[in-house]
Amino acid sequence: MNKTSWLVLILLGTGLALQAADRTFDFDVLQFRAKALAAQPYAEPKQHMPDWLLNLDYNQYQDIRFDQARTFWKSEKLPYQLQFFHLGRGFKRPVQIHELVRNEEKLIEFSPRLFDYGKNKISGRIPSNMGFAGFRVLTQLNGPERYDELAAFLGASYFRVLGSGMRYGLSARGLAINTGEPGDEEFPVFDEFWLERPVPGAKSITIFALLNSPSLAGAYRFIITPGTETLMQVKATLYCRKNPKVLGIAPLTSMYAHGENTGWSRDDFRPEVHDSDGLLLQTGAGEWLWRPLLNPAQVRVVSFGDFNPRGFGLLQRDREFAHYDDLEAHYHQRPSTWVEPIGDWGRGAVRLLEIPTPDETNDNIGTCWVPAQLPPEGEPINFEYRLHWMIDMGGRPPAGYVDSTRQGSVQDQPKQRRFVVEFAGPQLSKAPQGSPIEGIVTVGTSAKLVVNAVIQKNTNSGTWRVAFVVEPDGSGRPVEMRCFLRNKQNVLTETWSYLWNP
């Protein structure tokens, strides 16, 4: 066989392989597409949305509903079902959604027939190639009698997930870029999704997504397993067009308006209003830290340096309805979300961003993992983690934990501030009053302890209360404080970490 014949055979084989690749889809294929996309200059996708959809007000947009009778996978009685969100108002970036059947992809085409437009007056034709704003996944989350919402992907790279008995609260994101930095934040977008058609009896659903932004492109895979604690496993590969200044991995976004540590708002009948009340971290060394959230007077960014963190998350610890007294928002049923890294994440920091907000309509809390160093441009960035969406933290931390944080003035001492921290836990509640438990309190250099830790058991709740008084040095610098309980040399609780602006 001559050289020409060999070349023809090679080209023929290559063509067949490419055709096969065109017909099949997996994470390797998605990685290849993300890498090819990152090799091209960034371009905004074309929009085919009529102006009248952009100009809808809140109520008009909410009046556009997906037709329940057209729910995907409903007639097949599969364990998961799909519904879609319509473009309009603030959701103007088109999203393409595909169904995967035996690794073969098929575009789910947009059609106005999929939606009920309510009282809206449709002005002109709605393009058939307009695309969707996002989608929701339904399953029998709270019992076999109905399908409830399990997850929703809507807007940029945002998504929310539920477990049994929960109400939507905080959100997760695919990626954060330059969050908390001077200048504009960059918001990567999931432009395209592939949803794997579940088999009967499937315990999980798999979703693939293509991320795009001016700085990078990325391939994502989500495996969602619903339950009392819903587990989402996330795998991602990023290809940078240019390395961003700050890359935030596993970002979470929440809301904190006011709570027990800030005092009751005089303009709100509800004692507390928040989706999350604290940031919990488990460091690579095994220490547990609890940072109560704040609605600050000005933007605050705090970083907790670490090496190979074991986990972090935004929690809604307070589950007492009476502490919120809200019959509509049900803040006591908002999920906590815990990030569990898979593999070594190296050196970096958990970053916490707190932004002032006048009310609960704005998400003002953000957290993520920021690697200390990124690979050289052109090299892929790989990471994997689990997201746990839950009500009960399931033994995290295994020892005692902070139950509440309060502060108040000191009579006749306007420069001083009193802090009261209560710790709870099964072992602490069993310890009788008079046990050799001590509260260890430290403050930063910008303040001093005027009254050292006074500890006593709260026999009404079984918690242990630590009270102390701090006086700042007058410099106006923030005061960093820490507190934990110990018995002789044994640490009994997580560490309370608080930043106070005098």
| Average pLDDT of the residues in 281-299 | 96
Q: What pLDDT shows up at residue 265?
A: 75
Query: From CA 369, how far away is CA 281, in angstroms rounded?
Result: 11
**CA pair distance 46, 44, nearest whole angstrom:** 7
Q: How confident is the model at residue 22 (pLDDT cuts 50, 70, 90)?
A: low
- Which CB contacts under 8 angstroms, 24+ apart, belong to 390-394? 390/163, 390/228, 390/229, 390/230, 390/335, 390/336, 390/337, 390/338, 391/163, 391/165, 391/166, 391/228, 391/319, 391/333, 391/335, 391/336, 392/228, 392/229, 393/280, 393/315, 393/317, 393/336, 393/338, 394/229
Residue 20 confidence class, pLDDT cut points 50, 70, 90: very low
In total, the chain counts a number of residues equal to: 502
Backbone angles phi, psi at 246, to 5 degrees: -130, 120
Model confidence band, residue 127 (pLDDT cutoffs 50, 70, 90): confident
Distance CA 382, CA 9 (A): 36
Strands (E), 283-400: 288-292, 300-307, 311-315, 336-342, 347-354, 365-371, 381-390
341 phi/psi in degrees, rounded to 5: -60, 145
pLDDT reading at 12 higher than 70: no
Give the mean model confidence (pLDDT) for residues 341-362. 96
Q: What is the mean pLDDT of residues 153-174?
A: 97
Whether 4 shows a pLDDT value over 90: the answer reads: no
How confident is the model at residue 23, as a pLDDT?
57
**For the ranges 47-56, 66-75, 323-332, 363-372, which has the lowest average pLDDT?**
47-56
Give per-residue pLDDT as tens, 435-488.
999 999 999 999 999 988 999 999 999 999 999 999 999 999 999 999 999 998
What average pLDDT score do residues 260-289 get? 93
pLDDT of 13: 45
Task: Indicate if the pLDDT at residue 271 is higher than 90.
Answer: yes
Q: Which tens digit of pLDDT belongs to each residue from 390-433? A: 999 988 999 999 999 999 999 999 999 999 999 999 999 999 99
pLDDT at 8 over 70: no
In the chain the domains, ranked by start, together with CATH numbers, are 23-390 (2.70.98.10), 401-500 (2.60.40.10)
Percent of the chain with pLDDT over 70: 95
Residue 168 has pLDDT above 80, yes or no: yes
